[in-house]
Amino acid sequence: MEKRVIFKHKLLPYILVAPQIVITLLFFIWPASQAVYQSVLQEDAFGLSRTFVGLANFAYIFTDETYLRSIYVTIIFSCSVTAIAMSVSLLLASMADRAIRGATTYKTLIIWPYAVAPAVAGVLWYFLFNPTIGIVALYLKIYGYEWNHSLNGGQAMFLVVITAAWREISYNFLFFLAGLQAIPKPFLEAASIDGASPFRRFWTITFPLLSPTTFFLIVMNVVYAFFDTFGVIHVITDGGPNYATNIMVFKVYHDGFLSLDLGGSAAQSVILMIIVISLTVVQFRYIERKVYY
Amino acid sequence: MADVSLDNVFKTFGKTEVIHGISCDIQDGEFIVILGPSGCGKSTLLRMIAGLETITKGDVSIDGTVVNRLEPADRDVAMVFQNYALYPHMTVFKNMAYGLKIRKMPKAEIKRRVEDAARILEITEFLDRKPKQLSGGQRQRVAMGRCIVREPKIFLFDEPLSNLDAKLRVQMRLEIRKLQETLKITSIYVTHDQVEAMTLGDRMIVMDNGYAAQIGTPLDVYERPATRFVAGFIGSPAMNFLTAVVSADGRQVHLHRDISLTLQNGGLPGHGGQKIIMGVRPEHFVLGQAADAMLHLDLDHVEILGSDTLAYGHLGQDKTQVTLRLPSVYHFKKNTVLHLDIPSKNLHFFNTDTGQRIEMQA
């Protein structure tokens, strides 16, 4: 049964929820509606004139090859980031779950990268792989591999994926570890008495029981790769070379603030908004239900 | 089917020793119950046999082979866990088939075995359900089914009935015993419930704080408890303990200055003058005549159970509390005095310091 609180004063409940409502309106609803509004306008670069153009901005971006390319790049990028961040963190978490000695230190160390700001993480990896002064680039060169992510699109993608995934591993690690520790030990003991090897126990018992965590993290990681990696891209590649790392959120920024195509940029934001809303719906609607065993 | 042998088995967690050297030979097909209060190490001992806990010292052998270093998978044992530990994401069928699939058994054979077991346990209609759709008793059957299909050398039970309600517990207890008699698979069963231990086991190991206080048949343990702990643990209501002093010739015991009992047989000749503990089970008191009764009990409280009557009272100057159980119904009034006799053969004596049983001379 729902518990209803009865307030004596009629206004009090509204005052109590007001801060939350104000913040939502001010920082979410207003900018979002502005974006929707701007997406149907064409505006000159100085903001002096604007014309209503209907869905022309949307029609345009879907014929724009750089936009279609950025969708493709975003898919590659977010899938790689999610795959790498998820698999590495699951591996680390299952090892931490077994560790007896030094477990606390180990866990603390793995959580550190999450405290590093995306831009700082970007700078860090940028220096490591910098073709002129980067130590990793130097060693690659010694072993005969020419590294220059400012020229090679594939290498640039690899670098931003690694950087973005590196930060997310800490986050995933925490959730996976908590998920692993929540699995009652008798399940695994029963499986080992049933004759399952550790590897088999992991895939037939642990992994399925971890599915709520895994599904949650997939959504979180995709959202992260879509929206929170702007700093990484901005610092390391600036979307280049030749748009090889030009993910959608970066293109919004680039088109809006550098190319001053406010209408087109707003249309792109609206599309991103639709994506994030649908991801959230998926998470709330399906995943919460699906993962029950 | 196999025999199991424990040879001076120790277990230490960190610096705490929890099992202090237990030895026991379990025959092929025997049903052994490990009984003890919580924290006595009985589950640890079972888990050591299963391979879920390492063995600090000593040997566990199955069929003559030392299995100390074998993984649980290689010991060919099956176990029913206290919370059943059914895999929540698998159907009942898959739960039961899991161990067989790992052993790469042909599909048809798996199907046959699971269906056979399901028929025996009457869970055929639940084969497609997930564990959370089952009641406690049904889950319990599935957990047993998962063991039966494997046809293992040994069944291990870790308090399997403790999560069931009283009625179901009695029913499942009977079924487990029947099943074990049919399959004749060596079984080791851990419980803290003395009724389960008395009814299920061919023999029982009564554990006290990491030691095997007594190993014997249920009746043996009831009639001749090896220590004061066993005497107090087995039997409900618990045995009465009275401090007593043996007379110089060992023919009498003095409970107080005012109460003396004459031992009708050989007595305790080796213990003349010693302080000992005398134990009497509540059900072994006999109502006597005022004139020649051994004891006179001041009644404090009476509980009529229908089949029996429980009477609580105190004895003598220091008011030692005594419980007695009398068959059938008695309407005693409070504060009356009951005149009691105890057949000499029903007296138990224990060493005050060690708690070890002292035998009377025949």
- Nearest residue to A121 via CA among A155, A79, A170: A170
pLDDT of residue B341: 87
With cut-offs at 50, 70 and 90, classify the pLDDT of residue B204.
Answer: very high
pLDDT mean over A66-88: 91
CA distance A116 to A56: 41
pLDDT of residue B272: 81
pLDDT of B86 over the 60 cut: yes
A28: Cβ–Cβ under 8 A, 6 or more apart, which residues?
none
Residue B72 to residue A192, Cβ atoms within 8 A: yes
Enumerate the residues of chain B whose CB falls inside 8 A of the CB of residue A195.
73, 99, 102-103
pLDDT mean over A140-155: 81
C-beta neighbour count of A269 within 10 angstroms: 23
Closest CA–CA distance from residue B180 to any residue of chain A (Å) = 20
Asked if A111 has any chain B CB less than 8 Å from its own CB, the reply is no
- Domain spans, chain B: 4-233, 240-358
pLDDT in tens, A204-262: 999 999 988 898 899 889 988 888 888 888 888 877 788 788 888 888 888 888 877 78
**Fold designation for B240-358:** OB fold (Dihydrolipoamide Acetyltransferase, E2P) (2.40.50)
pLDDT of B318 over the 80 cut: no
pLDDT mean over A65-82: 90
Q: What percent of chain B is modeled with pLDDT above 70? A: 99
With cut-offs at 50, 70 and 90, classify the pLDDT of residue B112.
Answer: very high
Q: Which residue has the higher pLDDT, A210 or B264?
A: A210
Instruction: Give the nearest chain A residue to B143 (CA atoms).
Output: A190
pLDDT mean over A139-166: 84
pLDDT in tens, A86-111: 999 999 998 888 877 777 888 888 88
Enumerate the residues of chain B whose CB falls inside 8 A of the CB of residue A205.
87
pLDDT of residue A101: 77
Please give the full DSSP string across B265-295, using - where no structure is assigned. Answer: SSB-GGGTT-EEEEEE-GGG-EE--TTT-SE
- Domain spans, chain A: 66-250+275-290
pLDDT of residue B1: 62
Most B CBs within 10 Å: which of A101, A189, A192, A193, as the mutation test of the B interface?
A193
Candidate ranges A52-61, A230-239, B93-102, B329-338; pick with highest mean pLDDT: B93-102
pLDDT of A150 over the 80 cut: no
**Sheet of strand B154-158: strand arrangement:** B77-80, B154-158, B186-191, B31-35, B203-208, B211-216
Superfamily name and number for B4-233 = P-loop containing nucleotide triphosphate hydrolases (3.40.50.300)
Q: Which residue has the higher pLDDT, B250 or A6?
A: B250
pLDDT of residue B26: 92
Closest CA–CA distance from residue B149 to any residue of chain A (Å) = 11
Eight-class DSSP state of A29: I
**CATH code assigned to A66-250+275-290:** 1.10.3720.10
pLDDT mean over B2-19: 90
Q: Is A282 exposed, middle or buried (0-12, 13-18, 19+ CB in 10 A)?
A: middle
Please give the full DSSP string across B130-145, using - where no structure is assigned. Answer: -GGGS-HHHHHHHHHH
Contact B47, B77 (CB under 8 A): no
pLDDT in tens, B151-196: 899 999 999 888 888 888 898 899 899 889 888 999 999 999 999 9
Asked if B73 has any chain A CB less than 8 Å from its own CB, the reply is yes
pLDDT mean over B133-143: 89
Between strands B154-158 and B31-35, the pairing is unpaired
pLDDT in tens, B350-362: 999 999 999 887 7
pLDDT of residue A287: 65
Most B CBs within 10 Å: which of A188, A189, A194, A210, as the mutation test of the B interface?
A194
pLDDT in tens, B209-240: 999 999 999 999 999 999 999 999 998 889 99
pLDDT of residue B342: 87
pLDDT of residue A235: 84
pLDDT in tens, A187-204: 999 999 998 888 999 999
3-state secondary structure of A19: helix
pLDDT of residue A289: 57
- B351 sits in which H/E element: strand B348-351
pLDDT of A1 over the 90 cut: no
Enumerate the residues of chain B whose CB falls inside 8 A of the CB of residue A194.
73, 78, 98-99, 102, 146, 150
Q: What percent of chain A is modeled with pLDDT above 90? A: 18
pLDDT of B279 over the 60 cut: yes
pLDDT of A3 over the 70 cut: no
